[in-house]
Amino acid sequence: MSKQELTNRGGGITKWSFPPVHPEGRKFGLIAAGITAVFAFMAWETLAWPMAGVTLWTLAFFRDPARTTPTAENFVVAPADGLVTLIQQVPPPPELAGPEGLGEDPMTRVSIFMSVFDVHINRAPIAGTIKRVVYIAGKFLNADLDKASEENERQHFLVERSDGVRIGFTQIAGLVARRIMSFVKEGDIVGGGQRVGLIRFGSRVDVYLPAGTSSRIIKGQRCVAGETIIAELGVDNDLRAISH
């Protein structure tokens, strides 16, 4: 997909368009459309109309809209669309810990829950080199639960900037998620906001922020992958918010 540089001074041109469907979802859309066509051909309208709705939902689930990512080097952007359900101080997961990883000290973890209505393409929170990709088989508990970070099927990523700053993030399967996909491998160089993976049918993504960096978002806020700034490296703010 082509890239275009935009600025807050009005530079560049942008316009709305229908978001494309990710290739992973096209086969599901075709299967659903085929079943709909069979029901319609058989004049089974009570089944054809609901199946048409399923077809549209399937295509919408796998939509892959373009995103405009801020390029300031200290910004950490959301890796997932969805609701911020947890912000906690926790030790890094063992798969991302250690001297060549995120260390051993507690750090801020921001958890973003994706419902079945959210875009499920996941994106890199910062630009850098993929240093680790670790897949862990596990359970399929409700992704809203805190223990889902340790017990559910998951896939960890470690990204390192050229200056050595590291960010970890984790794709976590949920109750109905049954496949975690990665578009990148160890050694790949990614840009901030670049597509790195996909989780099918509802799940969660955790982001681990380095010491001295706090979240710029509040629990209960919604994020847009690749666009919402969830933190600024080296900035530790005590934020407050009011829910209306």
118-141 burial, b at 16+ Cβ within 10 Å, e below that, comes to bbbbbbbbbbbebbbbeebeeebb
Distance CA 192, CA 124 (A): 5
CB proximity list for 100: less than 8 A, separation 6 or greater: 131
Distance CA 171, CA 100 (A): 21
Is 203 a residue of the active site?
yes
Q: Side chain identity at 223, as an amino acid letter? A: C
* Full DSSP string of 170-239: EEEE-SS---EEES--TT-EE-TT-EEEEESSSEEEEEEEPTT--BSS-TT-EE-TTTSEEEETT-----
Strand partners, 98: 103
Distance CA 215, CA 137 (A): 29
User: In whole angstroms, how far apart are CA 159 and each of 39, 177, 187?
Assistant: 48, 24, 10
User: Would you call 36 helix, strand, or coil by DSSP?
Assistant: helix
Which residue do the tokens 């001297």 mark? 99
Q: For the sheet containing 195-199, what is the strand order?
A: 121-123, 195-199, 180-182
Q: Catalytic one among 203, 214, 215, 243?
A: 203
- Hey, which residues are catalytic here? 203
